[in-house]
Structure 1
């Protein structure tokens, strides 16, 4: 049904007379390709009704979808989504700067009253005035059983940014996003969980970011938001305690978003995976799940050489600290981009590789696409057009300053450049018995121009394709935002953490954030942290190992035998108990490997995260929505390790029958165990009896 254009005053006058407008139009079953054909009023599908101040879309339940109501206020454009009579998501009101807002000529504007609307073929089209004279907002809402599409743009002006603003409290608690930039040290020491319990201020949230992020957020009210863009975003959640979620796109292109409405947060997550895709395989092998990888970075940083690396490997071996691989991180090259060993620090890399293999480890190397200007390969690559071009001057190579100097970046969209780079990697690996690679830095930078016919997001796909040709040794790679990154099934390692308790806690909530935006194979940053901070204390190192033992993979660096405090240059020697407790954590993880491998196979079938928030499995357990120090590992294991410098902790057990592994007792939930004793050798962990995999988990943990 099409509504003829009238002024808002005429519309309100007509509605004010109490005249019912016959607006009961529907769309067919969304399972049939979500067709948008108009249907009769008798059909089960979205129905629109109008009142003096609002347009109301009613979407009935269908299958597992619970149904919802979307109320569009017309006097001041805003959206309120309700389910079962209660609000589950609302946009910001005019007093908070409006719902659909934009910045033009350096000033913020927003949509005001609806001046025209149309409902036909299952699409609600709105036109709204704005606070900028001569500019209007045109929006389209396409409802279906478990979501609605919201697309909008500004007409009559060229905006610099489009922004959707939501009232955080209307939806309960907020999650998703991935690694957060925060005023309190995120992501190294701060990862709010839920997001609204802290502040997120992330002005460079985009597909080329080194952060593991996706434009997806979900809430405790079982709603979700996915912003479909390849542009840079500016995201702020509760900035300054303002109670708003602001999701901005740095572009004049139309704003395209999907709002999910489901019964549980897990169903919202599954809806999102239905869009971006789940992993088609696991990039890591069974052994890489079962045993830790040891990486030299936090142990030595760049103060590493052949002698130190072999001493490190020998110490680990002699103290029974097993692992599937030992990786030489930065710095081993003669210059960044040469892909040749520095002969002064590594006089015999072949012998070094042989010895590492003799000790039972595979051998890995850190590599990057970034070629420094002082590399003997830089000019060669530049002359042949193998480097990304500068965004401001495409006639010259892009030069990017990073933590190791100034570099150009191999352009993976150039087939000749990609083939050249991969051939050099394979020659290096063959020459020195290198089994796998740790790719670092990004595959694109916003200061560069993508190759003709490509967008910045394409470099996530190209980077994923490159990395997929090599063994990543269970440390994975940091690609995101593109469906190829989801499908590749890479392990995701976090950004560098600090070495204190706050970073240990952030490593847990960050894994929960990453795994619930569609990357189920997660590891913390190196056990014990890094970030060029003082060496971790014995307690932090042991607790971190205990925590990681109850995650999908263990990513290790700081040796529990001894390490170097990079801030002082002094050697730190840990006592025998440190190594013993670390070995115990590794052994626990290895025993859990058959259970974890089952969860890997489940993730391949469903896309479900392995390490996940307690409320994914227990959505009706209200306390679960703010638990930041415990998680479910698959459906049967509740991990509650000590993450603070304290002798006890509280443990919240959801409904069900639980076996307390440490105290050898059975408990009935829901219940809260207060002051659970946690001496350094104790890692609280519980098995949900009767859950799938419980027997295998019990066998491993008892």
Structure 2
């Protein structure tokens, strides 16, 4: 009892503004393991003793949902964010809204299916299929904040010249004069429409980076403030009604201080969508990378047209993207089942971050975010590239191989620039493998739009109760292909085979359960096809 009271006190002391009203203590069953909550915490799952996470105003920088699921068929849902702690044999939960604890079957898959059907059903639609059928290319790491017409075209032509297939090309941050002005800056894009026409001719669809922030000293800001389409600050009055709010909320984010659109206001949605339509009509832009939107950028002290928690503001930003089949998000709340392309948060150019890709991406599947991209190949956190004379070429190759059989793969650092011929050819081999497997990937994409089943599945999901709940360096692509990328520097790794008959890429048969050692030269990605259990 003392432990439970301590946990409750901890919840309240850390988040006094959350106004938790509901609590529960759940006894963890023998051999029961829990997953869920936040995608970026996938590396920490299954949760162990002492783990704590509060989802109120916090999605850990990626997608999240008020949902936990266990290996024995139980799941937890609340319509609002909750906090939870694992303490010995108990799971303590504190929530704003009622907590639902249900059981369906006795596996993590049966529990997921029941919860998905009831609380986050699939929409029956997919994002633009080009996101899956071809690699994606993002200009971020090559250009950072120096996005410009000349270098973007050089990058696009180099993709084709080096034998990569065209796909979606994303023009990242700083193409506009400032946040809130929707036009290409003339000093860097003398003929933006001509540039996009050329990219289309090369076979690309073009996305541009956008965010919900507005520079607080421009004409757009003055107009939006006058129309009351921005978030307001409550000036310390928690009960201040929207109609009486006067001062705009100024938000600190990674690029400075800005005002922010209020997407609970239909008129704000109309204004913002009209700006994006202008980009489509005037320049030929095909889609949008909708960045930011994290609950942390919607302070609990802000006042919106419709009363909303920080998490609900994030959800509204996600709702907005449903207008665009060609979309990408990094931050998301409670939008499982929606036809939104979700990317894992920026990863550093490190082996440690590479090892988070599989557990984080399979956790996305457990939260209903099936259309997920495993960040940029080699890492998308530009800070980890600063001061480097050269990249770890093995890491770039292994990152490409890890991504190759995930739902999407996205390049940014140009392989032809940073790799020698041996490593470059290894990356091209990974892309060729993806193109070979693409029909199966697309089969899964179409199926998940109807069924909600994960595309990339944790091993425990497909092979329950075989001791695979802690396996974080292998995953299943559907129920047919097991992928075991190299996640460490070296050329040898261990693969765990569940019960059944397996076949490698050369036709060799392996019978499970078994643990095998494999040589993995730099150009080899280990993958195995499941043939069933009929031969056992």
Q: TM-score, normalising length from structure 1?
A: 0.68
Which structure has the greater CA radius of gyration? 1
Any residues of structure 2 matched to 1:288-687 within 5 Å, and which?
Answer: 288-392=131-235, 394-442=245-293, 445-446=298-299, 447-452=301-306, 456=310, 458-473=312-327, 475-476=328-329, 478-481=331-334, 485-531=335-381, 532-534=383-385, 536-562=391-417, 573-622=418-467, 624-661=468-505, 663-673=506-516, 675-687=517-529
Q: 2:46 matched to 1:194?
A: yes
Aligned in 2, Cα 1:352/1:270: closer, same or farther, shift over 3 Å? same
Flag the structure with higher strand content. 1
Any residues of structure 2 matched to 1:51-70 within 5 Å, and which?
Answer: none
Q: Could you tell me how far 1:257 is from its partner in structure 2?
A: 2.7
Q: Could you tell me how far 1:679 is from its partner in structure 2?
A: 0.9
The CA distance in 1 between the partners of 2:89 and 2:413, in whole Å, is 40
What residue is the counterpart of 1:272 in the other structure? 115
Runs of 5+ in structure 2 lacking a partner?
238-244
Higher normalized contact order (CA 8 Å, seq sep 6+, divided by chain length): 2
Deviates more, 1:281-290 or 1:507-516: 281-290
The CA distance in 1 between the partners of 2:162 and 2:123, in whole Å, is 38
What residue is the counterpart of 2:63 in the other structure? 212
What residue is the counterpart of 2:242 in the other structure? none
Q: Could you tell me how far 1:451 is from its partner in structure 2?
A: 1.5
Match of 2:128 among 265, 285, 289: 285
Q: Deviations over 1:577-634 (max 9, x none)?
A: 2332222212211221111111122212321111011121111322x11111001101
Flag the structure with higher helix content. 2
Runs of 5+ in structure 1 lacking a partner?
1-93, 109-157, 182-189, 563-572, 692-702
The CA distance in 1 between the partners of 2:86 and 2:520, in whole Å, is 35
The CA distance in 2 between the partners of 1:648 and 1:387, in whole Å, is 55
Q: 2:21 matched to 1:176?
A: no
Q: TM-score, normalising length from structure 2?
A: 0.88
Alignment RMSD: 2.9
Aligned in 2, Cα 1:358/1:270: closer, same or farther, shift over 3 Å? same
Deviates more, 1:319-328 or 1:354-363: 354-363
The CA distance in 2 between the partners of 1:469 and 1:176, in whole Å, is 28
Q: Deviations over 1:215-263 (max 9, x none)?
A: 212223332222x1425x334446xxx67644333x5xx6423242531
Q: Is the 8 A contact 1:99 1:166 kept in 2?
A: no
What residue is the counterpart of 1:67 in the other structure? none
Match of 1:221 among 54, 58, 72: 72
Deviates more, 1:579-588 or 1:379-388: 579-588
The CA distance in 2 between the partners of 1:200 and 1:170, in whole Å, is 18
